[in-house]
Amino acid sequence: MERPAWAPQGIDLNKPSVSRMYDYYLGGSHNFEVDRAAAERAIAAWPGLPKIMQANRAFMRRAIRYAIGEGVTQFLDIGSGIPTFGNVHEVAQTTDPAARVVYVDNDPVAVAHSRAVLNGNEGADIVSADFRSPQDILDSPELERLIDLDRPVALMLVALLHFIEDRDDPWKTVARLGDALAPGSLLVVTHASPGESPRNDGGTGIQEVYRKASSPLVMRSHEEIARFFDGFAMVDPGLVTLPHWRPDSPPELEDSVVLSGFAGVGRKAGIDG
> Per DSSP, which regions of 13-60 are E strands?
none
pLDDT tier for residue 230 given thresholds of 50, 70 and 90: very high
pLDDT tier for residue 7 given thresholds of 50, 70 and 90: low
3-class secondary structure, 11: coil
Q: Is the peptide bond before 16 cis (omega within 30 degrees of 0)?
A: no
Average pLDDT score, the chain = 88
12 domain residue, yes or no: no
pLDDT tier for residue 196 given thresholds of 50, 70 and 90: low
pLDDT tier for residue 19 given thresholds of 50, 70 and 90: confident
Nearest alpha-carbon partner for 158 in 30, 262, 254, 259: 262
Alpha-carbon gap, residue 134 to 252, rounded angstroms: 39
On whether the CB atoms of residues 48 and 179 are closer than 8 A, the answer is no
Alpha-carbon gap, residue 133 to 129, rounded angstroms: 7
5 domain residue, yes or no: no
Q: What pLDDT is recorded for position 252?
A: 59
- Which CATH number belongs to the domain containing residue 46 in this structure? 3.40.50.150
pLDDT tier for residue 200 given thresholds of 50, 70 and 90: very low
pLDDT at 110 > cutoff 50: yes
3-class secondary structure, 211: helix
pLDDT digit string, tens, across residues 150-189: 999 999 999 999 999 999 999 999 999 999 999 999 999 9
Q: What pLDDT is recorded for position 2?
A: 61
Q: What pLDDT is recorded for position 254?
A: 59
42 domain residue, yes or no: yes
- What is the average pLDDT across 28-33? 86
Alpha-carbon gap, residue 170 to 23, rounded angstroms: 24
On whether the CB atoms of residues 162 and 219 are closer than 8 A, the answer is yes
Q: Report the C-alpha dihedral over residues 207, 208, 214, 219, rounded to 10 degrees.
A: 10
pLDDT tier for residue 251 given thresholds of 50, 70 and 90: low
Task: Determine the structural domain holding residue 264 and report its residue range.
Answer: 18-268
Alpha-carbon gap, residue 86 to 55, rounded angstroms: 13
Q: What pLDDT is recorded for position 103?
A: 98
pLDDT at 206 > cutoff 50: yes
- What is the average pLDDT across 55-62? 94
3 domain residue, yes or no: no
pLDDT at 58 > cutoff 80: yes
pLDDT at 272 > cutoff 50: no
On whether the CB atoms of residues 99 and 123 are closer than 8 A, the answer is yes
Q: What pLDDT is recorded for position 225?
A: 97
Tell the burial category of 124 from Cβ atoms under 10 Å away from its Cβ (0-12, 13-18, 19+). buried
8 domain residue, yes or no: no
Lowest mean pLDDT among 38-47, 59-68, 87-96, 252-261: 252-261
3-class secondary structure, 106: coil
Label the pairing between strands 232-234 and 186-192: unpaired
6 domain residue, yes or no: no
Instruction: Determine how many CB atoms are found less than 10 A away from the CB of residue 9.
Output: 6
pLDDT at 18 > cutoff 70: yes
> How many structural domains does the chain have?
1
- pTM of the predicted structure, to 2 decimals: 0.88
Helices (H) and strands (E) in the chain, counts: 10, 8
Q: What pLDDT is recorded for position 82?
A: 84
pLDDT tier for residue 107 given thresholds of 50, 70 and 90: confident
3-class secondary structure, 93: helix
